[in-house]
Amino acid sequence: MLTIKNLQARVEEKEILKGLNFEVKPGEVHAIMGPNGSGKSTLASVLAGKEDYEITGGEIIFKEKNLLEMSPEVRAREGLFLAFQYPVEIPGVSNINFLKAALSEIRAYRGLPPLTAKEFLQLVNEKSKLVELDGQLTNRSLNEGFSGGEKKRNEIFQMAMLDPTLAILDETDSGLDIDALRIVANGVNAMRSPEKSFVVITHYQRLLDFIVPDFVHVLYKGKIVKSGTKELALELEERGYDWIKEEVEAQA
Amino acid sequence: METTIVNHKSKFLAIAEQTKSSLISALPLVVSEAQTALENLDIPTSRHEEWKYTRTTKLQNERFSIQKSSTASIDYRPFEALRLVFVNGVYNASLSDHEKIDGLSIRFDEEIKEQTLIGFDIASSSNFFEALQRATSTSALHIQAEKGAVIEKPIHIVHLIDAAQTLATPSIFVKVHQSASLEINESFISSDATASGLTIRQLWAQVDKNARLEYNKMQDENDLSYQMCLEDIQLADDAYSNFNTLTLNGGWVRNDLRIALNGKNIESNLSGFYLPRNKQLIDNHTKVDHRYPHCVSNELYKGILFDQSTGVFNGKVYVRKDAQKTNAYQNNANIIAGDQAVMNTKPELEIYADDVKCSHGTTTGQLDESAMWYLRSRGIGVDAARRLLTSAFINDVISKISNQQVAEFVIADLTEKNLLYV
Ligand SMILES: Nc1ncnc2c1ncn2[C@@H]1O[C@H](COP(=O)(O)OP(=O)(O)OP(=O)(O)O)[C@@H](O)[C@H]1O
Ligand SMILES: [Mg+2]
Structure confidence by residue, pLDDT tens digits, B345-396: 999 999 999 999 999 999 999 999 999 999 999 999 999 999 999 999 999 9
pLDDT attached to residue B1: 45
> How far is residue B90's CA from residue B109's CA, in Å, rounded to a whole number?
10
> How far is residue B191's CA from residue B203's CA, in Å, rounded to a whole number?
23
Give which of A92, A62, A56 is closest to A168, Cα–Cα. Answer: A62
Where does the pLDDT of residue B422 fall: very low under 50, low under 70, confident under 90, or very high at 90 and above?
low
- Residues B235 and B382 grouped into a single domain: no
Please count the residue pairs, one from chain A and one from chain B, whose beta carbons lie less than 8 angstroms apart: 80
pLDDT at A251 over 90: no
Cβ B305 vs Cβ B366: under 8 Å: no
> How far is residue B151's CA from residue B60's CA, in Å, rounded to a whole number?
42
pLDDT at B23 over 50: yes
> How far is residue B397's CA from residue B405's CA, in Å, rounded to a whole number?
15
Look at chain B and report how many structural domains it folds into.
2
Q: Which helix (H) or strand (E) holds A186?
A: helix A178-191
- Residues B252 and B388 grouped into a single domain: no
Average pLDDT over residues A47-72: 96
Decide if A92 and B377 are in contact by the 8 Å CB cutoff. no
Three-class SS string for B162-226? CCCCEEECCEEEEEECCCCEEEEEEEEEECCCCCCEEEEEEEEEEECCCCEEEEEEEEECCCCCE
Q: How many residues does chain A have?
A: 252
- Residues B252 and B398 grouped into a single domain: no
Q: pLDDT exceeding 90 applies to what percent of chain A?
A: 84
pLDDT at B421 over 80: no
Cβ B270 vs Cβ B258: under 8 Å: no
Q: Could you tell me if residue B292 is inside a domain?
A: no
pLDDT attached to residue B243: 98
Q: What is the domain range of residue B230?
A: 2-262
Q: Could you tell me if residue B353 is inside a domain?
A: no
Q: Could you tell me if residue B110 is inside a domain?
A: yes
Q: What is the atom index within ligand 1 of the atom nearest the CA of A222? A: 14
Q: Could you tell me if residue B401 is inside a domain?
A: yes
pLDDT digits (tens, 9 = 90+) for A162-176: 999 999 999 999 889
Q: Of B208, B236, B262, which marks where a domain is finished?
A: B262
Q: Which of B379, B389, B395 sits opposite A76 (nearest CB)?
A: B379
pLDDT at B4 over 80: no
Kindly state if the Cβ of A37 falls inside 6 Å of ligand 1: yes
| Residue from A7, A10, A14, A55 to probe ligand 1 pocket by mutation (most atoms less than 8 Å from CB) | A14
Beta bridge partners of B175: B144, B206
Q: Which of B371, B376, B422 sits opposite A90 (nearest CB)?
A: B371
- Residues B94 and B227 grouped into a single domain: yes
Kindly state if the Cβ of A116 falls inside 6 Å of ligand 1: no
> How far is residue B250's CA from residue B189's CA, in Å, rounded to a whole number?
9
Q: Could you tell me if residue B223 is inside a domain?
A: yes
Q: Of B247, B262, B277, which marks where a domain is finished?
A: B262
pLDDT at B417 over 90: yes
Q: Of B233, B262, B291, which marks where a domain is finished?
A: B262
pLDDT attached to residue B6: 57
Give which of B274, B286, B281, B272 is closest to B314, Cα–Cα. Answer: B286
- Residues B84 and B232 grouped into a single domain: yes
Q: Could you tell me if residue B359 is inside a domain?
A: no
Q: Which of B371, B376, B422 sits opposite A73 (nearest CB)?
A: B376
pLDDT attached to residue A137: 81
**CA A236 to chain CA centroid, nearest Å:** 21
Nearest CA to ligand 1 atom 30: A37
Beta bridge partners of B402: none
Distance A44 CA to ligand 2 centre (A): 9
Chain mean pLDDT for chain B: 95
pLDDT attached to residue A114: 92
Distance A59 CA to ligand 1 centre (A): 21
